[in-house]
Amino acid sequence: MTLRARPTAGRSRRSSHDNEARQKLYVTIGFIAVIVIAVGILAGSVVVSWYNDHLKPVAHVDGTAITRDQWLERTKIELFRIGEGEKRVRESLAAGQVGQDIASQQLELLDQQRQQVTQGALEGLIDALVIEKYAAAEGVSASDADLEAALKKESSQPELRQTLAIFVRPDVDAGADFPSQAQRDAGKAKAEQALAELKAGKDFAAVAKQYSNDASKEQGGDFGSLADTNPTDRAWVKAVFALPLDGTTEVIEGADGTFRIGRVTEITPAKEDAAFRAAVEQGPGLEAYKTYLTAQVLQEKITEKLVALATAGPVEQVHAYEILIDKGSGDAGGQEVRASHILYSPQDDPGGASALPTDDPAWADSQQQADAAAAKLRAIADVAEREAEFATLAKAESDDTGSGATGGDLGWFTRGAMVQEFADAIFEGTHGKGDIVGPVKSQFGWHVILFDRFRPAPKQRAAELLVKVNEPGADFAAIAKEESDGLEAAKGGDLGWIAPGQSSDPTIEEALFTLQAGQIGEGLELGDGFHIYKVVGRETRPLDPEQINRIQLNAFTLWFAPKKGAAVITRDDAALGSGL
């Protein structure tokens, strides 16, 4: 039998050409994959970049995001409004409707807003979200008609009143924060005398130069043009806008204690700026601007509702007295002293004294004068007579013209408020009322010092006064007149009748309205100091115009502040820091 090899059926040999084709295919597929991956990475980075530039949140309010785009849009609108404001100020200046000083102040204020525009834009967006969240609960909404009306108001230039003004600010003793009652009465009498002369036909410019202590007196009282939104003093501005042409107000006592008189010499009616709407459309855009105005419309409607409810009729009020211990007057809670001084400077020049050599004869001359004055004063045994003579000498001889005009009185001060040599002399050692300290040499000259008394640091002082006013038979008003640092100290701390919403601080209102007639509060520490209140009366009474004015000013803030305070607000510092 023959053995034969079995043939292999169906098997063929792969050629080198096939191998090359396959390798090329793999390379092509790999290349395409690399391209796809690269494109994917690039697209992803573009998406991330776009997200970071537009949609990344810069803040959250109760979980609602504020995106970079919203922040950018708000900033553009704020810049647009600032630019429009600058334009209107310059137009008013060119037309002679405002003076250069007032225009410069307004432009400076607008420039400050520009410097802080990004922060302001973000806070505006945060406030808008809080307002919109609670507006519905108040039954308030902003319709398209409301927004159109707001836009029209924005595009209108307000009525302007060219005004002459006389401002009389009462004198204030050196070291005191507020005028005494006598100084307030003198200021009011001065203003009333000015008004009497105006009514008698005397030239306004002449009266302003004689009686006013505002800078406008140098221009004959020309205060420029007023809009009804002018912040000088609400009551005075309101009185000016109630006048006919060439009318003169009565004497208006402002919230700041200044007595004001105004006269209207020209009235420019309100008019619509036809170019404003077009500028909005070409700039931020009409819809974006209306969105911006939404929170403003809601705020106005909420305020109207709150004021209407608060002023609907007679309300329960409290008649309160206050003792305020100024926290700011304490030097890190340190002790305070009251004293007076007479300064004898070399060559009668406190500012140039430090430049003179110590062996300059002028130093010896001023020391001799100080020694003579101190000896003369110490020779007076009676303290009251010594204090009176000290005041006379200070007015006649002191080179510190500021305190010299008030008999050398420096008021209350802390150690850190004075140069070291002066402070060491007065705060170290034991002194009694009426003692003469010095002469003491400082960089300004030689000081002859009249010591009055020490008083404790503000917190301790407030605690001691709280005990004192609660003692049987204590006269709260008399103690307030002697000890309070408040504006009403001269009147025994009498705040008058206070209605709900009249105070801008809800903490004060709560403290007052928890007291019954005859009760004294436990004491309240606030940012400005320590407050002690006594309620002497409590009854339902009609609101007077000033109370209504205060309620109108405070209504929205008192409603809004606790709501914003309760909101969970987060700001992305990294996103904000990267800028727009």
pLDDT in tens, 444-491: 999 999 999 888 888 888 999 999 999 999 999 999 998 898 888 888
CA distances from 498 to 306, 342, 501, 535 (A): 17, 44, 9, 10
CATH architecture, domain 336-454: Roll (3.10)
- Element counts in the chain: helices (H) and strands (E): 19, 17
CA distance 544 to 498: 10
The Cβ of residue 392 has, within 10 Å, a number of other Cβ atoms equal to: 12
Side chain identity at residue 128, one-letter code:
A
CA distance 489 to 475: 14
Sheet holding 529-541, edge to edge: 494-498, 315-326, 529-541, 524-526
Omega within 30 of 0 (cis) for the link into 179 = no
Same fold, 315-327+458-542 and 336-454: yes
Tabulate helix, strand, coil % of the chain (nearest 5): 55, 20, 30
Which residues are 57's β-sheet partners? 67
pLDDT at res. 280: 92
**Token pair for residue 432?**
């009694």
**Token pair for residue 500?**
């709900």
Contact assessment for residue 352 and residue 444, using Cβ atoms and an 8 Å cutoff: no
CA distances from 544 to 32, 307, 324, 550, 576 (A): 84, 14, 25, 10, 47
pLDDT at res. 229: 79
Contact assessment for residue 194 and residue 261, using Cβ atoms and an 8 Å cutoff: yes
**Token pair for residue 551?**
């309620």
CA 160 to chain centroid, in Å, comes to: 25
**Residue 479 falls in which region: left (phi positive, over 0), alpha (psi -120 to 50) or beta:** alpha
CATH architecture, domain 160-269: Roll (3.10)
Sheet holding 336-344, edge to edge: 409-414, 336-344, 445-455, 436-442
CA distance 440 to 371: 10
Which residues are 344's β-sheet partners? 446
What confidence tens digit (pLDDT) does each residue in 295-310 have? 999 999 999 999 999 9
Report domain extents, the chain. Answer: 160-269, 315-327+458-542, 336-454
Residues of the chain where predicted confidence (pLDDT) is lower than 50: 1-14, 43, 45-48, 50-52, 329-330, 332
pLDDT at res. 20: 66
User: Which uninterrupted H or E stretch holds 536?
Assistant: strand 529-541
Which residues are 320's β-sheet partners? 496, 535
Q: Where are the alpha helices (DSSP H) in 242-349?
A: 274-282, 286-310
Sorted by sequence, the CB contacts under 8 Å of residue 181 that are 6+ apart come out as 490, 491
Which residues are 497's β-sheet partners? 319
pLDDT at res. 24: 66
CATH number of 315-327+458-542: 3.10.50.40
